[in-house]
Chain A
Amino acid sequence: MRRASIQSIIGILLLLSSGMMLPSALVGYLYQDHTTAAFLESAGILALLGSLLYWPVRQAQYDLRLRDGFLVVAASWLTLCIGGAVPFLLMESLNISVVDAFFEAVSGLTTTGATVLTQIDELPRGIQFYRQQSQWFGGMGIIVLAVAVLPMLRIGGMQLFRAETPGPMKDNKLTPRITETAKALWLIYLGLTIACALAYWLAGMSGFDAISHSFSTVAIGGFSTHDSSIAWFNSPLIESIAMVFMTFSGMNFALHFMAWRNATTLPYRQDAEVKVYLSLLLFASVAVSIGLYLSNTFGSVGESVRYGMFQAVSFLTTTGYTTASSHLWPSTLPVILLMMATIGGCAGSTGGGMKVMRVMMLFRQSIREIHHLIHPNATIPTKMGGKTISGKVMYAVWGFFFLYMASFAVLSVLVTITGVDPLTAYSAVGASIANLGPAMGEVGDNYSSLNDAAKVLLAFAMLLGRLEIFTLLVLFTPAFWRD
């Protein structure tokens, strides 16, 4: 019974993902770039697979238990990533290996933005659009989308929701009904995307580029339709627009919801996490700009600020757009940027990393421990925005922190074993697990030079980061499989 309902949900999600091929097919048709057939074929294959999974168990009752949520979410993501790789393989002009196709699909859906494709400018429009679009669907979460549009996921939807949405506190529903919450999140997401696309277009991008980049900006993805990313446009205006929308998308969507519903900016001003997030952005921008100027990387103050700020915002939000080859910047600047990405966006945003909220909690808890040494008898609650954090949440955050670091260490060692040099390995794992994208060393621009084993490990790191470690790791514990 349990297996049947999980199977049917995965079947439905495959059907949904087959539908997601259609916009790309349309784009391919509009630009006459001979990709339409491959997309339609992929849609057909996925639809067939989805129906084969769904049809025999369509009568299954949806009575998901808490632990089933993890399995459903992890299994769906894996299935969707594999499904997402199909068009790359069917596209004969691309001529890429199975591992590369999988890596690209995972990188897209997890909004990492690391790519193995080169000469992206030359790619057919259909493929370019497909990559951007996969980031957009992955950003808010395909399961959240499914909960919003498929009424049959209503019961048990909370379990799925919790396993997919980022952040330490996931029990705060925006609206009483789960479908309404999911719809509200997607509407805000859609709204931001449209606003972003319009702004890009008005700033001089072509319609195709504006839409494509709005997808990866709001999803905090980082894919671009050009090899040189945002630098291709060489326009301070476009860079500023990108920065504004990256900053907005890196905030908790619950805040956008409250602000939009009550038509006030109060939620932003009152939120403790946003304050720290903006301060971090400011701090990183200033630090990187000063570093660039002092090391004479760019001649003028203006250029240092322009490139320093953009890279700081792009890395801290874990987008991974580049306007300069930041991995070649001198001294510790690339390391600072990577560390910033590890902190990442706010809880409940589309950004990756550990999330500002968790880092704040860890920081405050640590300060509390120091106070405790000074006043051994004091009762010092750990507070966030005037509210005490419960011990349970705190333990979970510490557990997350350890697992994040442990995954980083173990995966880095494994990637090194496959024969990758340490700098590349460590930075690539760090950038993958934070869903950032560009790293250092060999993979500063492009991941194509890595070996297959390393690519699979990095793809796993991306999924770990997107599903926030627990959801995926829980499946690897024997206790999960014991009834």
Chain B
Amino acid sequence: MKIVILGAGQVGSSVAAQLANEANDITVVDTDELNLRELQDRLDIRGVHGYASWPSVLMRAGIEDADLLIAVTNSDEINMMAAQVAHSLFNTPLKIARIRASEYLQHPELFNSQDCPVDFHISPEKEVTDYIKHLIEFPSALQVLDFADGRAQLVTVRASEGGWLVGKRIKEMTKHLPEGVESRVAAIFRGKKAFIPHAGSIIEEDDLIYFLAARKDIQTVISEMRRLEAPVKRIILSGGGNIGSSLARALEKKYHTKVIERSRTRAAEIAENLETAIVLVGDCSDVELLQEESIEKTDVYVALTNDDEANILSSMLAKKLGARKVITLINRPAYIELVESGTIDIAISPQQVTIGALLTHVRRGEMVTVHSLSGGKAEAIEAVAIGDRSSSKVIGRRIDEIKLPSETTIGGIVRGDEVMMAHHDNVIEKGDHIILFVLDKKQISAVEKLFQPSIAFI
């Protein structure tokens, strides 16, 4: 696939890195020549230097025969304009733009082929906000990802030291579940290695367990897996940027929420839009302020400023002062590996969260959702079975009859509102949403092919 990426920032370069490994022709456009050069040295891509929305620059980047434009410069307006230029002058089939400002996002009717021809817009702030919201809902989970509009969810938990999971077999775990509640352990990450467990696999300490369940059952399943943590009541968010303020708005009704913001004017601004949440003006690394606001009784502390170092340090401070759980937003991938499994409970990488949303549109076949797991090493994919028995390679077949690529497993099937865990004798029907785990990224194209109906029958 020929892809033009505008903006070699954090999202742009991590998307380029993910896609360059999959035999795509990638051109990255940026105004920073140094940045491009560095990227070009590291990846097998081409860099074009210039303003992303200028037709001549886009032409040099090969927009004329590009299949996909991904506009992720740091300006919403340039992203939209570039999509417009690509649409009007070059007829680019698929245009994805990152739109940050909620002002634009509140008017989805803006984005259509007549007005602002952005086929899909992604908003990292919104994605990250949703992601953190899920984590607060399920305090024991490290990660909660939605499939089929949230009907099914993928939850990651860590088998903690002394927890009863350690040393158990997978089948013992599922046996304990109450009647009618189903779950399936789809993958286990042990250290840097991922594998698909079978019924006899034994869980070891520090394993990351990825399991799939219907949304309504998640709480029950987690409680079976881990000693259930007390529900969250008090939350402190530090950093009142876009993510902080929209998260506060989403959380204030259910939880006792406080937002710490350094700038007085910004604090006043967000306070205006909030109802019950309290906006505090101050520094997030101010011990006295934190103590004053009873950090020791806080259930979740979330560091959301745009400064990685400040986030990490203030989270460590909060944890030391007694916050039950700390969640930290970290942009640099190198830091994430550093802090994981340290004092900080959960490190969130905005790129990692955003990239799934992007990958969904890049993948061929009928992919509705793609989540990138474990720093892009594995993927969880929701694919729709289309066609009929003769054109599709999956419809009308039992799960054990489907020729899955290696290192790939089917976790579950969503049929209408019903969420089923995969059993070897389930038969795939037309319109089923199938949730797959691909632990080896080399198999992605094979998975894509599996869900593409043969050409003759479309």
Contact = CB atoms under 8 A, between A and B. Distances in A.
B33 A176 contact: no
A175 B44 contact: no
Given A171-B47, A176-B46, A66 B41 contact: yes
A175 B2 CA distance: 11
A154 interface: yes
A178 interface: yes
Q: List 7 tightest A-B contacts by C-beta distance, closest first.
A: A176-B25, A176-B46, A173-B46, A176-B27, A176-B26, A178-B44, A177-B44
A176 B45 contact: yes
Contacts of B46: 173, 175-177
Interface in A392-437: none
A41 to B, nearest CB: 38
A234 interface: no
Interface residues of B, number: 13
A158 B27 CA distance: 15
A179 to B, nearest CB: 8
Given A171-B47, A390-B33, A176 B62 contact: yes
A448 interface: no
B40 interface: yes
Contact of A175 (B25, B33, B41): B25
Interface residues of A, number: 15
B37 interface: yes
A256 B26 CA distance: 22
Given A155-B44, A176-B26, A180-B25, 7 more contacts: A66-B41, A154-B44, A171-B40, A173-B46, A175-B46, A176-B27, A178-B44
Contacts of B2: 176
Nearest to A173: B46
Contacts of B40: 158, 171, 173
Contacts of B62: 176
B44 A157 contact: yes
Contacts of B44: 154-155, 157-158, 176-179
Interface in A150-177: 154-155, 157-159, 171, 173, 175-177
B169 to A, nearest CB: 35
Interface of A: 66, 154-155, 157-159, 171, 173, 175-180, 390
Interface string B51-74: 000000000001000000000000
A177 B41 contact: no
Contacts of A390: 33
A287 B27 CA distance: 46
Of B2, B27, B37, B41, which is in contact with the most chain A CB atoms at under 10 Å from its CB?
B41
Contacts of B37: 171
Contacts of A158: 40-41, 44
24 contacts: A66-B41, A154-B44, A155-B44, A158-B41, A158-B44, A159-B41, A171-B40, A171-B47, A173-B40, A173-B47, A175-B25, A175-B46, A176-B2, A176-B25, A176-B26, A176-B27, A176-B45, A176-B46, A176-B62, A177-B44, A177-B45, A177-B46, A179-B44, A390-B33
B57 to A, nearest CB: 13
Contacts of A177: 25, 44-46
B116 to A, nearest CB: 27
A179 B23 CA distance: 11
Contacts of A171: 37, 40, 47
Interface in B144-161: none
A168 B26 CA distance: 24
A171 B36 CA distance: 10
Contacts of A173: 40, 46-47
A173 B49 CA distance: 12
Contacts of A157: 44
A303 B31 CA distance: 55
B269 to A, nearest CB: 41
B367 to A, nearest CB: 23
Contacts of A159: 41
Interface string B1-26: 01000000000000000000000011
A155 B40 CA distance: 11
A390 B33 CA distance: 10
B48 to A, nearest CB: 9
Of B44, B45, B47, which is in contact with the most chain A CB atoms at under 10 Å from its CB?
B44
Contacts of B25: 175-177, 180
